[in-house]
């Protein structure tokens, strides 16, 4: 597995974890009738922010391993 594949896999794992946690959180928000919070994640920008954040985290982790 090359560095790019490793980076993509790590980012995908982080995104999956965050999205799963968000689904639980969104369910709770919906039950409490906090619809503005629910609407935030269902946008393309909301999901893109999660993906970008995952890559930033992975890059930091890989840079730390490289030292």
Q: Which two tokens stand for residue 41?
A: 């994640």
pTM, rounded to two decimals: 0.68
Q: Is the pLDDT of residue 53 over 70?
A: yes
Q: Is the pLDDT of residue 55 over 90?
A: yes
Measure the CA–CA gap between 25 and 14, rounded to whole angstroms: 16
pLDDT higher for 32 or 52?
A: 52
Per residue in 1-31, pLDDT tens? 888 899 999 999 998 888 777 766 666 766 6
What's the alpha-carbon Rg for the chain, to the nearest Å?
Answer: 15
CA angle 39, 59, 48 (to 5 degrees): 20
Measure the CA–CA gap between 10 and 61, rounded to whole angstroms: 10
């Amino acid at each position: 597995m090359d560095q790019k594949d490793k980076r993509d896999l790590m980012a995908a794992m982080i995104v999956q974890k965050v999205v799963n946690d968000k689904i639980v959180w969104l369910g709770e928000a919906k039950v409490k009738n906090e619809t503005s919070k629910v609407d935030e994640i269902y946008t393309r920008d909301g999901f893109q922010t999660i993906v970008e954040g995952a890559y930033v985290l992975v890059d930091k982790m890989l840079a730390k391993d490289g030292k």
